[in-house]
């Protein structure tokens, strides 16, 4: 495989783009080497600018759940384009997507569309404060909720990838109302409530996806919801990654725990920029223009993005691919574990439906501390061997892999072959 065109574009990109990327995790910092540049994608495949084709397990970090350029989505977006791109006024499409989303999240009476997951969470946090009249927010170390000041502490995803404790430029005052707890550790939440009656909400990824995949153990989520509500606070489910990913609706419903406020993104735009936050009426009625909590956006509810979301969710509901995702996910899990065993490599695989990833450690991984016992050097070697054998992975130990409904049996064979070669390379380190 040659990467010379990516290399040329990388050098050229350095002039006007920071690190030649528009999002840090794309910089390949933790796996070494320089980022690949992508030319196109279709179905389960993605092709870089050197013409190398890969089975895509990134799928834009979640949105391309139907695979790339699904015909139903492409048709809907092209049709919407003919009517205009943006009006700064309401359209019927927003009502249509709002109904699909609220029907999928029974506890959600109303939703507000924004343009990214960060914006969805930013607004959800502000809504929790507006509804409760309190200030503090508890987040879990290793969870990532976008790049708003208040939550850029002890975060996962790109911060974990770059081993950053937080972000420069975030003043002390911006995080003074942010409290940290440990995922799967109810006591670490309880102690905050025992010492503080000014807590508006607790925000959680119902399935952790930004420290790698971390799954709530036993009744952690159920006990958390009870604890939070008993203390006059709200539970905010950040389902930007998990929404529609492993069931048609939220992970919270599959796990049997219903949050007070839900934040969404990724899949609900089908690759177009859409975020959303929603809740029952008594909470959402605090949002302007009905209530005093202000939030706005020039491109919120953009008609092309709405068409992308409507067609993606409509097709996703028609396909109902979740059993297929479970089967493929289980097969990939076995491929990884069997290869690790064959070459005596310490490996743990965490999976929730169609999101999963391996950790190069022998420890169970139920929180961020345990996730950080992974050998990121081994991951780096594994990553590049997978690339060289035709599989495109997120370039970080602390990211989830995502399945899409275009994946074929042939693709699984490619992944199996690549995994064998990559695990052998790791075993020789």
Question: Annotated active-site positions, please?
Answer: 144, 238, 266
Site string for ligand KE4, 40-69 (x = CB under 6 A): ---------------------x--------
Tell whether residue 262 is a contact of ligand KE4 (CB under 6 A): no
Tell whether residue 116 is a contact of ligand KE4 (CB under 6 A): yes
State which of residues 13, 35, 124, 158 lies at the interface with ligand KE4 (CB under 6 A).
Answer: 158
What is the token pair recorded at 295?
């939030």
Dihedral (Cα; 15, 17, 18, 19), 10-degree rounding: -80
Least distance in angstroms from the C-beta of 251 to ligand KE4: 11
- Contact criterion met (CB below 8 Å) for 387 and 393: yes
Tell whether residue 302 is a contact of ligand KE4 (CB under 6 A): no
Separation CA 219–CA 361 (nearest Å)? 25
Number of residues that bind ligand KE4 (CB under 6 A): 20
Contacts of 285 (CB under 8 A, 6+ apart): 291
Strands 110-114 and 275-279: antiparallel
Tell whether residue 150 is a contact of ligand KE4 (CB under 6 A): no
Q: Which stretch binds ligand KE4 (CB under 6 A): 114-122, 289-297, 343-351, 381-389?
A: 114-122
Given the complex with ligand KE4, which of 193 and 392 has the nearer CB atom?
392
Separation CA 123–CA 277 (nearest Å)? 7
State which of residues 238, 315, 370, 385 lies at the interface with ligand KE4 (CB under 6 A).
Answer: 238
State which of residues 157, 161, 246, 354 lies at the interface with ligand KE4 (CB under 6 A).
Answer: 157
Beta bridge partners, 48, equal 38
Residue 420: C-alpha distances to residues 173, 212, 326 (Å): 49, 21, 22
Tell whether residue 265 is a contact of ligand KE4 (CB under 6 A): yes
Q: Which stretch binds ligand KE4 (CB under 6 A): 31-39, 110-118, 162-170, 334-342?
A: 110-118
Burial code (b: 16+ CB inside 10 Å, e: under 16) for 17-31 equals eebbbeebbbbbbbb
State which of residues 20, 65, 233, 240 lies at the interface with ligand KE4 (CB under 6 A).
Answer: 240
Q: How many CA atoms lie within 13 A of 205 on its CB side?
A: 32
Tell whether residue 121 is a contact of ligand KE4 (CB under 6 A): yes
Tell whether residue 209 is a contact of ligand KE4 (CB under 6 A): yes
What is the token pair recorded at 102?
């609220």
State which of residues 52, 184, 210, 367 lies at the interface with ligand KE4 (CB under 6 A).
Answer: 210
Tell whether residue 303 is a contact of ligand KE4 (CB under 6 A): no
Cis ω for the linkage preceding 289 (within 30 of 0): yes
Q: Which stretch binds ligand KE4 (CB under 6 A): 102-110, 131-139, 202-210, 312-320?
A: 202-210
> ∠407-426-62 over CA atoms, to 5°?
30
């Amino acid at each position: 495989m040659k990467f010379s065109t990516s290399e040329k574009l990388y050098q050229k990109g350095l002039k006007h783009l920071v690190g030649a990327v528009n999002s840090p995790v794309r910089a390949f910092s933790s796996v070494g080497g320089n980022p690949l540049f992508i030319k196109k994608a279709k179905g389960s495949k993605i092709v870089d600018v050197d013409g190398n084709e890969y089975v895509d397990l990134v799928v834009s970090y979640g949105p391309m759940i139907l695979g790339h350029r699904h015909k139903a989505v492409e048709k809907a977006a092209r049709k919407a384009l003919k009517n205009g791109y943006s009006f700064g006024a309401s359209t019927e499409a927003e009502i249509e997507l709002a109904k699909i989303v609220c029907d999928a999240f029974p506890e959600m009476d109303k939703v507000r569309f924004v343009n990214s997951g960060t914006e969805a969470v930013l607004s959800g946090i502000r809504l929790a404060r507006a509804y409760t009249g309190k200030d503090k927010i508890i987040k879990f170390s290793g969870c990532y909720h976008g790049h708003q000041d208040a939550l850029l502490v002890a975060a996962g995803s790109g911060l974990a990838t770059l081993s950053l404790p937080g972000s420069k430029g975030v003043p002390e005052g911006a995080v003074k109302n942010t409290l940290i707890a440990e995922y799967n550790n109810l006591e670490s939440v309880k102690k905050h409530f025992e010492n503080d009656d000014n807590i508006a909400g607790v925000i959680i990824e119902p399935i952790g996806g930004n420290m790698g995949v971390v799954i709530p153990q036993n009744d952690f989520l159920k006990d958390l919801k009870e604890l939070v509500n008993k203390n006059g606070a709200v539970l905010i489910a950040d389902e930007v990654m998990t929404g529609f990913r492993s069931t048609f609706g939220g992970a919270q419903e599959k796990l049997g725990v219903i949050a007070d406020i839900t934040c969404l993104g990724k899949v609900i735009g089908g690759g177009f920029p859409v975020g959303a936050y929603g809740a029952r009426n008594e909470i959402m009625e605090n949002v302007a223009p009905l209530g005093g909590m202000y939030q706005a956006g020039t491109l919120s509810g953009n008609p092309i993005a709405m068409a992308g979301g409507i067609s993606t969710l409509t097709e996703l509901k028609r396909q109902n691919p979740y059993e297929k995702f479970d089967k493929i996910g289980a097969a990939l899990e076995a491929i990884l574990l069997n290869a690790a065993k064959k070459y005596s490599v310490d490996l743990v695989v965490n999976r929730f439906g169609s999101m999963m990833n391996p950790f190069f450690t022998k420890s169970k991984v139920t929180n961020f501390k345990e996730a950080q016992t992974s050998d990121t050097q081994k991951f780096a070697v594994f990553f590049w061997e997978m690339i060289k054998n035709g599989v495109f992975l997120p370039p970080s130990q602390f990211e989830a892999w995502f399945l899409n409904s275009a994946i074929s049996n042939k693709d699984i064979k490619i992944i199996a072959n690549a995994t064998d070669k990559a695990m052998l390379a790791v075993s020789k380190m």
